[in-house]
Chains A and B, each alone.
Chain A
Amino acid sequence: MQLFSTPRRASAGPPLSGAAMQAGGIALLALLLITLTVLPVSARTIPAFKGYVNDYADMISGPVEAKLDQTLKSFEQSDSTQVAVLTVDSLEGDPLEDFSIRVAEKWGVGQKGKDNGVLLLVAKKERKVRLEVGYGLEGVLTDLLAGRIIDDVITPRFKSDQFDQGVEAGVEAVIQATRGEFKADPSSSQRGGRREESPLVSYLFFSIFFISFLGSKVSRKVGVVAGAIILPVIFLLASSPGWLLLLVLIPIGALVGLLLSFIDFFSGGSGGSSSSGGGYSGFSSSGSDSFSGGGGGSFGGGGASGDW
């Protein structure tokens, strides 16, 4: 809104009367208000991920929070298992289990593939606790054990308002239960970002072998023709290049086809290639995707709930 009323902007823009500009401003404001009222209010928003301990309801004291953070960090470094704590003021009408799994999935607690994440959720107003357990840990941290941790370790302390001790002891029990189930991948901290291989890569590999096969086994000419056809086709699939680019790609493809024809993958020599899967950055690393600090672990609704 400020932009529209600055004189510099007004003089640079097309000649607009003040009244028209004001009308535009009002329309914009109305649009904003409409979108605001239309925004869905059905489900509680998921709080932003801050670290291992996300104390939104201010139930855990500073020193304990720092200590927990340290404990959980070193646990992840040794075992790769991620444990996150979240306290919220209120669930705002959401069912506990529903909210808990949405948070766990959104944050992606646990490493992808290992699915070794645990979320300890405390709802202050509803006086409810839940341990959400990732797929990979359901074997060691069963619903039964998670239930016992809540019943015997966490809620008795919460009942006497010892939130620090309750959370600390609960986290300790979770660590004890899950220790040794997974080992940290030594190189996982170096690699960052998740990459997904597109089918295009497999087409590329396929066509390289295919052209080489045609060029060396059938005839060099066929290899050249195949290259001239396949390279533009691959580009066509990858993006939508202009016709000019496609025309340029045809002779390049022909050249590639010719080169590939000299390489014979099919006579003894192995032409296999392997591609390593992407690694996943943990909580501690400063990845580019700042909204989720987890490694992308999956959850299936395992765990237990309780109240105090």
Chain B
Amino acid sequence: MRHVVLFLALALIVPALTGCGYNTIQKNDEAVIAAWGDVEAAYQRRADLIPNLVETVKAYAAHEKDTLMAVTEARAKVGQLNLGSDTLNNPEAMANFQAAQGSMSSALSKLMVVVEKYPDLKANQNFRDLQHQLEGTENRINVARVRYNKTVQVFNTSIRTFPNNLTNNFLLNLPRREPFKAEEGAQHAPKVKF
């Protein structure tokens, strides 16, 4: 008889959990992790374009060594980042990630300014293709960041409102997630306009 009572208790508790927001919090947490995955994928996509871009520019603008060097170095730093949802739970890793990607952005924007001086390069089909890919990637990064911030907002709201806050305090103990802040010098992210 005892296990029957246990069964009945379970049958009552399982639906009751939805009322306290347990499932909602879990769902929102997963959404944040998924959105973060998209952010990382978009940044990764940009990093993958860099070697090809550097090679192409080098062929036409070999004596812009400093600028090319800066891009390569920033790319190397980005490559050393630890990826995965661990970054999310670690504010320090998150700050590192943002700093590295920010310096990548500014190095790229400097490169794009330098490129202005080389009409031959700008007419090169390979470079034009790369330019479209880079533009598309920057746009994807932007979209992924905006979406990430939205899911973070939903998640943070869901752990702070009643009665979910009780559930979170006593059961889950998930920390508040940090949204992306505007990057240092984000206003000159490589807008490749000619």
Contact = CB atoms under 8 A, between A and B. Distances in A.
Interface of A: 97, 101, 142-144, 146-148, 151, 199, 203, 206-207, 210, 214, 218, 222, 225-226, 229-230, 233-234, 237, 299-305
Interface in B21-51: 23, 38, 42
A301 B129 contact: no
A101 B147 CA distance: 12
B132 interface: yes
B37 to A, nearest CB: 12
B11 interface: yes
8 contacts: A101-B143, A151-B132, A210-B7, A226-B7, A226-B8, A233-B11, A301-B143, A303-B139
A305 B15 contact: no
B154 to A, nearest CB: 17
A218 B135 CA distance: 65
Given A229-B11, A300-B140, A222 B4 contact: yes
Most buried by A among B4, B19, B144: B4
Contacts of B23: 199
**Chain A contact surface mostly:** helix
B79 interface: no
Contact of B133 (A97, A144, A233): A144
Contacts of B129: 144, 147-148
Contacts of A214: 4, 7
Interface in B95-133: 128-129, 131-133
Contacts of A207: 11
B139 A144 contact: no
B161 interface: no
A237 B16 CA distance: 9
B142 interface: yes
A300 B12 contact: no
B11 A304 contact: no
Contacts of B4: 214, 218, 222
A147 B125 CA distance: 11
B192 to A, nearest CB: 10
Given A142-B133, A199-B23, A237-B19, 10 more contacts: A147-B135, A151-B132, A210-B11, A214-B4, A218-B4, A222-B4, A226-B7, A229-B8, A233-B15, A302-B136
B142 to A, nearest CB: 7
Interface size of B as a range: 20 to 34
Contact of B143 (A148, A210, A300, A305): A300
Contacts of A142: 133
Nearest to B192: A305
A301 B140 contact: yes
B165 interface: no
A14 B4 CA distance: 63
B142 A304 contact: no
Interface string B143-165: 11000000000000000000000
B137 interface: yes
A300 B19 CA distance: 33
A233 B12 contact: yes
Contacts of B85: none
Given A151-B128, A301-B140, A302-B140, A143 B135 contact: yes
A218 B6 CA distance: 13
B187 to A, nearest CB: 13
A119 to B, nearest CB: 14
Contacts of B89: none
A210 B128 CA distance: 63
A304 to B, nearest CB: 5
A266 B135 CA distance: 58
Nearest to A199: B18
B8 A301 contact: no
A305 B138 CA distance: 12
A237 B143 contact: no
B38 A300 contact: yes
A304 B18 contact: no
Contact of A144 (B8, B132, B144): B132
A230 B38 contact: no
Contacts of B11: 207, 210, 226, 229-230, 233
Given A214-B7, A301-B139, A237 B15 contact: yes
